[in-house]
Structure 1
Amino acid sequence: MTRVLVVEDEPQLVRALEINLKARRYEVDTALDGATALRLAAAHHPDAILLDLGLPDMDGLDVLRNLRRWIRVPVLVVSARHASDEKIEALDAGADDYVTKPFAIDELLARLRAAIRRAATVTTAEEEVIVTTDEFTVDLAAKKVHRGGHDVRLTPTEWHLLDVLIRNPGRLVSQVQLLQEVWGPSYRTQTNYLRVYMAQLRRKLEANPAHPRHLITEPGMGYRFEK
């Protein structure tokens, strides 16, 4: 049975989430503060975590960063903070998704299911060296891309960008994370680099670069690779 840790300091919301999750056959642990969340995560090894940022004893981002030192399960931030920069900060700290309050419980649960599925896909992808879509095939070990029976020539930068996305299948990778990993920390604000290189990758790999199926833009936030 899938175990979910709910980290939230509003008792009524905790109760509503607990009822809905248990009705769908999840095991549920709850924590009203960050210290309890870290203790329960270490003791019970949840399969996914719903994390509020506004906790009474510490900021939820600090909880997230602490968790990411040793745990890789999906973490969905559920917060009243709506600012784009706060969402990006949470994603850069290791969140898999960000849901703003108030939210529809059905949407939250759908996002939770999707995050758990993606986590299973990531584990599989780490074991695979060949990633295949209906348009192209990527050999991660050989650093080669094939499309239509032919090799696709990528520049080192194009390859590095594609490699980061493919190793995070289905997961939103923020602009800042991509810039740091591909170009380095001093390029954190150079989002125009991403637009140029993503356009080049789409022209080489997508059947319809103007309407990509595999290299998806999340406006203002980042990019996602979908099989």
Structure 2
Amino acid sequence: MTSTRRRVLVVEDDPVINQAVADRLVAEGYDVVRAVDGPAAVAAHAEHRPDVVVLDVMLPGYDGHEVCRRIQADRPVPVLMLTARADEADVLVGLAVGADDYLTKPFRMKELVARVAALLRRVDRAGEMAGRRALELGDLRVDPPARRVWRGEEEVRLTPTEFDLLLCLAATPGAVVTRERLMAEVWGWAGASGTRTVDSHVKGLRAKVGAERVRTVHGVGYALEVPDRPGRPGAGTP
């Protein structure tokens, strides 16, 4: 059970799935608001200001990607997308419009509840970063309290999940962080079934900060590479 009543907006046009998800979340101690189409979802978000959104991709009115784009333009909120397709391109579109995580249908209710709880823990952790200093990673500058990133003079717009992923890798530059550890520290839960989620978010992060900055160690995990700046000792050495 959750210690406080957090509000979840459930957006799903299938009435059976909508009701089942809502019932399970209520049983777990959440306050639940429901919507069955795109316009109703945007209106419910504006009225009820949920702490997290569970959002189906295929919706009447306009799809989940458009809903996600609109609510993120209003205010940052964690979004767990539900998709009937496991196609990687479809997942990357969701991440690009601001989704934080996704589940492929059919899914287990236990896993959905775990993902929702993990997203909320991430929001809570954001407040714990207030005293942390900015990180200088080559020409990347990361400001944990403000949750902002710059590449040179240009600000990089990361989703909340991408930011937490970058921060986790930046804690030990150059060192390999396993997918399992990333799942535990960024998503708040462990399990080999979630490693594809890590891979998809890494692709999104690479597209924004530069593919060369995140090194893949096949079968293990990822490492953040910090290139030497010109003029520093060791710069240009193999």
Does residue 129 (structure 1) correspond to residue 145 (structure 2)? The answer is no
Q: Is the 8 A contact 1:78 1:100 kept in 2?
A: yes
Aligned to 1:156: 139
Q: Is the 8 A contact 2:168 2:186 kept in 1?
A: no
Runs of 4+ in 1 over 6 A off after TM superposition: none
Aligned to 1:181: 208
Q: Distance in 1 between matches of 2:8 and 2:65?
A: 18
Q: Deviations over 1:142-183 (max 9, x none)?
A: x3xxxxxxxxxx54369859x951189726583454344324
Report the count of equivalent residues: 175
SS of equivalent residue, structure 1 residue 57: coil
Under a length normalisation based on structure 1, what TM-score does the superposition of the two structures give?
A: 0.66
Q: Distance in 1 between matches of 2:205 and 2:115?
A: 23
Q: Distance in 2 between matches of 1:156 and 1:66?
A: 31
Q: Deviations over 1:36-87 (max 9, x none)?
A: 1111100110000000010011111011111111221210001112100100
Q: Is the 8 A contact 1:7 1:49 kept in 2?
A: yes
Aligned to 2:215: 198
Aligned to 2:121: 117
Aligned to 2:28: 24
Aligned to 2:79: 75
Q: Is the 8 A contact 2:57 2:82 kept in 1?
A: yes
Aligned to 1:102: 106
Q: Is the 8 A contact 2:52 2:120 kept in 1?
A: yes
Matched residue type, 2:186 = G
Matched residue type, 2:91 = K
Gap runs ≥5 in structure 2:
143-150, 157-161, 170-184, 188-197, 225-238
Q: Is the 8 A contact 1:92 1:174 kept in 2?
A: no
Does residue 10 (structure 1) correspond to residue 14 (structure 2)? The answer is yes
TM-align CA RMSD:
3.2
Q: Distance in 1 between matches of 2:93 and 2:69?
A: 11
Under a length normalisation based on structure 2, what TM-score does the superposition of the two structures give?
A: 0.64
Q: Distance in 1 between matches of 2:55 and 2:41?
A: 9
Gap runs ≥5 in structure 1:
131-139, 144-153, 184-190, 203-209, 217-227
Does residue 93 (structure 1) correspond to residue 93 (structure 2)? The answer is no
Q: Is the 8 A contact 2:92 2:204 kept in 1?
A: no
